Each structure stands twice: as C-alpha cells, then as structure tokens.
C-alpha cells in the first residue's frame, strides 16, 4: 500500500510540474514574451546547461567507479587470469580516454557554436582526406593491437598444455559437475556414453581400458594444487553447459560429443585468498554459465586451491575407479 501511495505521489508531482509549466508558458504568452523562437538568453542558458550536464555526468561516472570498486572480483588467482585482467584494463584505458575526449568536445562545441548574432553562418566543411585517413588508420591500429593481444592470450588458455599438467576431466550434465582426475598414469581412461550408469558408472568409463582403472572421480569439490599447471578437459552429457571459473578468469563451453580444453596455473591458495578478501568463508567456484535448464541457477562446484602437500594428501584419500567398483 505504501509503495502504491509513493508511486501515486510521484505521478501527482509530475502532473503538478507539467501544469506549472503550462501556467508559466501561458503567462509569458499573455505578456507577449513568448514568440516561439529561442532568443539570446535561451541560447546562452542552454549552452551553459550543456557544459554543466557533461561536467555532472563525468563526476557521476568517476564516483561510480570508486563507490562500486569493492563489488568487482578480487585479484585474479591464475597466471592467465592476471593477463586477462591486464587486457581488460588496457581496453578500459583506451575506452575512457576516447570517451572523455569525445564527450567533452561534443558538449564544448555545442556551447561554443550556439546561435548568436556574431557568428550566425556555419562554415561549409564537407570533406577532408587527411582527417578521414587519420580516423580510419588510428582506430584500426588500436583494434589490431587489442585483437592480437586477445588472441595470444586465448592461445595460452586453450593451446598446447604444459607437459606435466595434472589432467582433470570436467563432466557437465543437468544439473551438476563431476570431476575425473587422470590418476597415477595421468591418462584419462576411455569412455562411452552407452556405458553410463548413474549408480555405478556415471561417466561411462570403459572398464576394459586399464588406463581408466586409476582414474579418480569426485563430486562436490574440485581440488587443485597451487603453482602447478592443471589441464581441464570438458565434456557434457546432455546440452551445452559452461565451465566458468570467474576467479581464474577462465571460461569455455562444455558441448555434448566434443572435448574442449582449457588450462591454467592457480597462483593463490584458498587460504591465501580468504586472507586477501578478509572473508573466512570465501571459496572459489566453478559455475555453469550457459542457461541449460530449470536447475541451471544452482549448477556449481566448489574449487579448492591447496598447497602441493595438502593436495597430495587429499588425492590419496580419494577412491580410484577400480577400487570404487570393487567396493560395490
Ligand atoms: Cu549447465
């Protein structure tokens, strides 16, 4: 009810302002002031209004950056993540320089060349080759630099992984993630979707392939060691999912019938990050960012970045695929 009354008050206030403006206009028409044409005083006040608007807009924009600074993601926790942040900041610097210069000029000239008695005639300036060359070539070079920078980073994220990477399969389905570590031999065993059985073999591992016997399948928590390359091989059982790791600035699609690959070196452990963000409950997350169905909003997995010792200790406690089968 209070909300409704507040809206009503706003609407009535707008009606009031509109009516007052009508009264003011009618009054000035009666006095013979309003001829329907802007006079020098109107042009002057509009020009000043332009300058005030752009100054206010700049102040508002810059203050927003400072007010919402702590809502941004914390420092990137991976090697490629840091570079992704550099690339992003590089883009922002270019965007801001161009934005501030062009917007300031737009409003400055709107004021400078407002209609007045002294400079009523516009200068006819239809074409200039040199100017066109400059505004074509300069943005082209800047864009090429951004694209080359971006492509080289993408190459680092998805190109050939480091030879001693820990290989982890990320298996997405509606609506959860399962991780499979390649085990002692660091080779993932073969899989076949026809062998999938939710109770005993959720990823459809081929039991005749000995390379898969030492594979370790985990749900709920994904552990990786700090300062060691990890290679994620991503698959999907049903529809398109996203393997999105915002704290490491990585993301790739998990598509059915296809293996996508992405790797990085985690650089900050969960414990260190908890100290950095002053939050003892902080956790890295793996999220799905393809709208994959009704349970998409909750499709996630916790990522724990351990010290190498903690990681080995954790891994040793996990059951291999073969011992898991034997237990059943
Ligand atoms: Cu999903």
Instruction: Tell me how far the alpha carbon of residue 96 lies from the centroid of ligand 1, in angstroms.
Output: 35
Between 31 and 244, the higher pLDDT residue: 244
Instruction: Tell me how far the alpha carbon of residue 185 lies from the centroid of ligand 1, in angstroms.
Output: 30
Q: Is the C-alpha dihedral spanning 31, 37, 42, 46 positive or negative?
A: positive
Residue 94 lies in a domain: yes
* Residue whose C-alpha is closest to residue 224's, from 165, 298, 174: 165
Alpha-carbon distance 165 to 63, whole Å? 44
Instruction: Tell me how far the alpha carbon of residue 143 lies from the centroid of ligand 1, in angstroms.
Output: 33
Residue 120 lies in a domain: no
Lowest mean pLDDT among 49-63, 119-133, 294-308: 119-133
pLDDT level of residue 100 (50, 70, 90 thresholds): very high
Helix 129-158 / helix 79-112 crossing angle, nearest 10 deg = 160
Residue 284 lies in a domain: yes
Residue 52 lies in a domain: no
Alpha-carbon distance 130 to 146, whole Å? 25
Instruction: Tell me how far the alpha carbon of residue 168 lies from the centroid of ligand 1, in angstroms.
Output: 18
124 — phi, psi (to 5°)? -85, 110
Tell me, rounded to whole angstroms, the distance of Cα 254 from its chain centroid.
18
Provide the domain limits for residue 205: 60-115+127-328
Instruction: Tell me how far the alpha carbon of residue 240 lies from the centroid of ligand 1, in angstroms.
Output: 7
pTM comes to 0.77
Q: How many distinct structural domains can be found in the chain? A: 1
- Average pLDDT for 153-179: 90
Any alpha helices (H) in 212-317, and if so which ranges? 270-276, 308-317
Q: Judge whether residue 328 has pLDDT over 60.
A: no
Note whether 241 and 297 are within 8 A (CB): no
Q: Judge whether residue 91 has pLDDT over 90.
A: yes
- Average pLDDT for 14-25: 91
Alpha-carbon distance 279 to 273, whole Å? 8
Strands, E assignment, 52-200:
166-173, 176-181
Q: Judge whether residue 325 has pLDDT over 80.
A: no
| Pair of tokens at residue 325 | 């089968």
141 — phi, psi (to 5°)? -65, -45
pLDDT at residue 321 in the model: 74
Residue 27 lies in a domain: no
pLDDT level of residue 326 (50, 70, 90 thresholds): low
Residue 263 lies in a domain: yes
Instruction: Tell me how far the alpha carbon of residue 319 lies from the centroid of ligand 1, in angstroms.
Output: 26
- Average pLDDT for 131-136: 93
Lowest mean pLDDT among 39-48, 174-183, 200-209: 200-209
Compute the C-alpha angle 81/261/198, nearest 5°.
115
Q: Judge whether residue 26 has pLDDT over 70.
A: yes
pLDDT level of residue 35 (50, 70, 90 thresholds): low
Instruction: Tell me how far the alpha carbon of residue 284 lies from the centroid of ligand 1, in angstroms.
Output: 18
CATH number, domain of 315, equals 2.60.40.420
Average pLDDT, rounded, for the chain: 88
pLDDT at residue 119 in the model: 59
Instruction: Tell me how far the alpha carbon of residue 220 lies from the centroid of ligand 1, in angstroms.
Output: 15
* Residue whose C-alpha is closest to residue 170's, from 223, 232, 108: 232
Tens of pLDDT, residue by residue over 219-230, are 889 999 999 999
């Amino acid at each position: 009810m209070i909300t409704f009354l507040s809206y009503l008050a706003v609407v009535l206030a707008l009606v009031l302002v509109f009516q007052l403006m009508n009264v003011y206009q009618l009054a000035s028409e009666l006095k013979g002031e309003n001829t329907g044409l802007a006079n020098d005083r109107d042009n002057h006040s509009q020009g000043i209004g332009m300058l005030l608007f752009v100054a206010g807009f700049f102040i508002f924009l810059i203050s927003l950056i400072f007010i919402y600074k702590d809502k941004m993601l914390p420092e990137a926790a991976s090697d490629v993540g840091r570079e992704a942040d550099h690339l992003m900041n590089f883009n922002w610097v270019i965007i801001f320089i161009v934005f501030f210069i062009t917007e300031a000029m737009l409003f400055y000239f709107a004021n400078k060349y407002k209609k007045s008695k002294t400079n009523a005639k516009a200068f006819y300036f239809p074409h200039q080759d040199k100017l066109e060359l400059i505004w074509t070539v300069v943005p082209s070079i800047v864009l090429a630099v951004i694209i080359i920078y971006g492509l080289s980073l993408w190459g680092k994220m998805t190109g050939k992984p480091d030879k001693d990477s820990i290989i982890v399969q990320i298996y997405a389905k509606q609506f959860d993630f399962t991780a499979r570590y390649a085990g002692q031999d660091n080779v993932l065993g073969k899989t076949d979707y026809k062998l999938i059985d939710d109770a005993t073999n959720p990823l459809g591992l081929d039991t005749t392939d000995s390379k898969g016997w030492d594979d370790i399948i985990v749900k709920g928590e994904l552990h990786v060691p700090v300062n060691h390359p990890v290679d994620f091989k991503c698959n999907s059982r049903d529809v398109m999912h996203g393997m999105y790791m915002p704290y490491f600035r990585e993301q790739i699609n998990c598509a059915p019938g296809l293996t996508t690959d992405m790797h990085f070196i985690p650089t900050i452990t969960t414990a260190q990050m908890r100290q950095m963000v002053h939050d003892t409950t902080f956790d890295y997350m793996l999220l799905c960012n393809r709208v994959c169905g009704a349970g998409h909003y909750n499709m996630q997995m916790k990522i724990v970045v351990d010290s190498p010792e903690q990681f080995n200790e954790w891994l040793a406690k996990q059951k291999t695929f073969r011992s898991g089968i034997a237990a059943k």
